[in-house]
Structure 1
Amino acid sequence: MTPIDRSATARPGPSVAQRLLTWAGFCATALLVSCAAPKAPPPPAVVVVPVPVAPAVVAPLPDLVSEAMTPRDYRKDGARHLYGLNKNRIYKGRLPPLMYAVGVLRVDIDSMGKVRQLNWMRSPDHAPEVVREIERTVLAAAPFPAPVRMGGVTYTDVWLWDKSGNFQLDTLTEGQRSK
């Protein structure tokens, strides 16, 4: 096989003058295109207008606050609150051996100390007037100390009702006589 001489078949490249003309043509075209393109308007100036911001509405803390961490601890605060509002109705001393009525009431308190719900666990059905009076007493005592650490609480207490109309709560009872 004989080698092919490529130098004889190769075309001569463009001359320096042709290359300069081509380059000048590209530059002129680019210059014309950039001049012809519409310029974008400058962005509008940003004007910052201060807007008055209302302070966040925060509910004030209630006057009565409980730091209790559990419903059992809150039960003491609830009982003290009821005793404080009903001083003249608290049975003084040890209760007699037989009570007129005994009731177990569950009280649901919201985060601000309002009574959400009352639920009898054991109602003294033989004494409906006592049921009504206990419910009235609890509702009239609202607001209870706000359970700020729990955000709301449901606690249970036992109402020990004497035939005189006075009562003690099991949480703060002074006990019961044997005779």
Structure 2
Amino acid sequence: MTMTIRTLTTIAAALALAACSALKPADKAGDGSSPTSATDEVPGPRSDVPTVRLITAQTPAVRAYRKTGARQIYKAYPQRIYKGKIPPLVYAVVVVETDLDAEGNVRNVTFSRVPSHAPEVPGKIAELIKAASPLPSPGRLGGHTYVDTWLWDKSGNFQLDSLTLGQRSR
């Protein structure tokens, strides 16, 4: 099968996000009128918060940018990169979604997979990404969500899935 689990997960997440707009609450009056009571009013969307995050399809350009972004993070933290192949039981695997603007500035960092046994790791990763901002400009891709998987060793060193050297068998 040519689709990876990561691709299927990304597609499922995109479909779930698209379905959110179909789950708007029904009006109580049933006549299409909006609520008039101040206690029933729902605040409108804020312009500084995106209403729907779009995970960019994994086109060849997006896959190439993943490596570019990962190289920038490696360049920012050369002493933190796990040398060689990752051990078979890596301490934490974290899937990170980094929202970038068209210039490569990090706008937001969220997580689609976090380890319950290592709750400290996602916060550390978010700090590392924000401190490495800006990442290289995505060029024609423009602003998008850069997704990568962090393989975090118990030493605090890491590799990114897009540049990993693989995993040892023992």
TM-score by length of 1: 0.60
Structure 1 letter corresponding to 2:147: T
Structure 2 letter corresponding to 1:85: A
Is residue 95 of structure 1 aligned with residue 86 of structure 2?
yes
Find the counterpart in structure 1 of residue 124 from structure 2.
133
User: How many angstroms apart in 1 are the aligned matches of 2:161 and 2:61?
Assistant: 17
User: How many angstroms apart in 2 are the aligned matches of 1:135 and 1:120?
Assistant: 9
User: How many angstroms apart in 1 are the aligned matches of 2:127 and 2:110?
Assistant: 13
User: How many angstroms apart in 2 are the aligned matches of 1:88 and 1:170?
Assistant: 18
Q: Which of 115, 119, 123 matches 2:114?
A: 123
Q: Judge conservation of contact 1:71–1:154 (CA < 8 Å) in 2.
A: no
User: How many angstroms apart in 1 are the aligned matches of 2:95 and 2:142?
Assistant: 23
Map 1:8-27 to 2 at 5 A.
none
Q: Which of 126, 148, 153 matches 1:162?
A: 153
Find the counterpart in structure 2 of residue 71 from structure 1.
62
Structure 2 letter corresponding to 1:169: L
Quote how far apart the aligned CAs of 1:160 are.
Answer: 0.3
- Equivalent residues, number: 112
Q: Which of 104, 107, 117 matches 1:113?
A: 104
Structure 1 letter corresponding to 2:104: G
User: How many angstroms apart in 2 are the aligned matches of 1:84 and 1:133?
Assistant: 17
- What SS is found at the alignment partner of 1:106? strand
Structure 1 letter corresponding to 2:119: P
**Which residues of structure 2 form unaligned runs of 5+?**
1-58
- Per-residue CA deviations over 1:119-157 (Å, capped at 9, x if unaligned) read 211012321221111000000000110112122121211
Q: Judge conservation of contact 1:71–1:153 (CA < 8 Å) in 2.
A: no
Q: Judge conservation of contact 1:72–1:155 (CA < 8 Å) in 2.
A: no
Report the aligned-residue RMSD. 1.5
Is residue 176 of structure 1 aligned with residue 161 of structure 2?
no
Sequence identity percentage? 55
Larger radius of gyration, structure 1 or 2? 1
Structure 1 letter corresponding to 2:81: I
